[in-house]
């Protein structure tokens, strides 16, 4: 496992700790072509964590939309910068965190999705964030300091709960 680019996860952490939790970190370039690999990674993590196929699909869709939003909004398009994906399996949920060090992202800047207008007036902005919120149980955005640097990074955390727990 490689070191994380920001402080929050920068302390060394074993991939499997005593409580049966696991933490997997993968770094991707901010390119749309990696979406297949990214979805496969989070899909595997979801299944290993005990989520069913429907929940796994939901996680893959949410992470794809989040990654796409980061490329488009935080990095202003595809580039060689990094987006880090951290999957943490706990006894009752899968926590997926995406980290980028692009422009500060404010979810309030994203328009509410238009779900009802007639075809001619229908706008499609905001569907990505809407899908993330619909697919996951919790979606939260934070700004965190970058490890060892005087800059800040965006941290997006999404939680999918296991249905048969609680």
Partner 1 sequence: MEVTTIEYKHCDMIKIRGRIDSSTAAQLSDALDSVIDQGRFKIVIDMNDVEYMSSAGLRVLIGAQKSCKRYNRGEVVLALVPKRIYDALELAGFVPLFRFHDDLLAAVGSF
What tokens does 6 get? 């920001």
Q: Is 39 in the site for partner 1 (CB under 8 A)?
A: yes
Q: Is 127 in the site for partner 1 (CB under 8 A)?
A: yes
Q: Which residues pair with 160 in a beta bridge?
A: 94
* Minimum CB–partner distance for residue 76 and partner 1 (Å): 14
Nearer to partner 1 by C-beta: 64 or 84? 64
* Minimum CB–partner distance for residue 144 and partner 1 (Å): 25
Q: Which residues pair with 156 in a beta bridge?
A: 98, 141
Residue 47 gets which letter from DSSP? Answer: H
- Listed ranges 10-18, 44-52, 83-91, 130-138: which one lies at the site for partner 1 (CB under 8 A): 130-138
Buried b / exposed e along 82-116 (16+ C-beta atoms within 10 A): ebbbbbbbbeebbbbbbbbbbeebeeeebeebeee
Residues in contact with partner 1 by CB under 8 A are 32-33, 35-36, 39, 54, 57, 60-61, 64-65, 68, 71, 113-116, 119-120, 122, 124, 127-128, 130-131, 134
């Amino acid at each position: 496992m490689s070191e994380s680019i920001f402080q929050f996860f920068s302390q060394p952490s074993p991939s499997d700790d005593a409580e049966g939790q696991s933490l997997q970190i993968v770094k991707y370039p901010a390119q749309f072509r990696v979406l297949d690999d990214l979805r496969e990674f989070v899909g595997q993590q979801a299944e290993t964590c005990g989520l069913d196929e429907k929940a796994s699909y939901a996680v893959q869709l949410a992470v794809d939309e989040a990654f796409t939003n980061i490329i488009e909004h935080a990095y202003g398009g595809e580039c060689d910068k990094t987006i880090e994906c951290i999957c943490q399996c706990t006894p009752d949920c899968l926590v997926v965190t995406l980290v980028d060090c692009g422009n500060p992202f404010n979810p309030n800047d994203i328009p509410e999705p238009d779900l009802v207008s007639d075809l001619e007036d229908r706008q499609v902005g905001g569907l990505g964030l809407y899908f993330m919120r619909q697919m996951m149980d919790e979606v939260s955005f934070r700004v965190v300091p970058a490890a060892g640097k005087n800059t800040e990074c965006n941290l997006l955390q999404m939680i999918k709960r296991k249905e048969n727990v609680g």
